[in-house]
Amino acid sequence: MSQEPKRALASIRTNINRLRGKEAVIAAYILENPRNIIHMTISQLSEELGVADSTVFRFCQKTGFSGFQSFKIALASEVITPLEDIHEKIHADDSVSAITEKVIRSNMKSLEDTLAVHDEKEMERAVKFVVEARTIGFFGNGGSAIVALDGYHKFLRAGLSAFSNMDSHLQIMSAARLGREDLAIVVSHTGSTKDTLDVIRVIKERQVPIIGITNQAISPLSKAADVKLFTVSEETDFRSEALASRIAQLSLMDALYTNVMMARGDAGREALEQMRKAIALKRI
Query: Which CATH number is 196's domain given?
Result: 3.40.50.10490
CA triple 108-196-131, angle to 5 deg: 70
Number of domains in the chain: 2
pLDDT at 167: 94
Residues 59 and 137 occupy one common structural domain: no
Please check the confidence at residue 190 and state whether its pLDDT lies above 80. yes
Please check the confidence at residue 87 and state whether its pLDDT lies above 70. no
Residues 218 and 136 occupy one common structural domain: yes
pLDDT at 3: 59
Residue 67 belongs to a domain with what CATH number?
1.10.10.10
Of 79, 112, 138, which residue sits at a domain end? 79
Range of the domain at 28: 8-79
pLDDT at 64: 84
Side-by-side strand order, sheet with 136-140 = 162-164, 136-140, 183-187, 210-214, 227-230
Residues 202 and 274 occupy one common structural domain: yes
Residues 75 and 203 occupy one common structural domain: no
Residues 130 and 202 occupy one common structural domain: yes
pTM: 0.72
Residues 213-269 pLDDT 10s:
998 667 899 889 999 998 887 655 555 555 778 899 999 999 999 999 999 988 888
Mean pLDDT of 122-148: 95
pLDDT at 147: 95
Please check the confidence at residue 145 and state whether its pLDDT lies above 60. yes
d(CA 20, CA 29): 14
Residues 73 and 182 occupy one common structural domain: no
d(CA 243, CA 241): 5
Residues 241 and 128 occupy one common structural domain: yes
Residues 124 and 38 occupy one common structural domain: no
Residues 270 and 173 occupy one common structural domain: yes
Residues 174 and 250 occupy one common structural domain: yes
Query: Distances in Å between the alpha carbon of 56 and those of 21, 23, 33, 37?
Result: 12, 7, 15, 12
In a domain, 256, yes or no: yes
In a domain, 1, yes or no: no
pLDDT at 83: 41
Residues 52 and 126 occupy one common structural domain: no
Residues 36 and 177 occupy one common structural domain: no
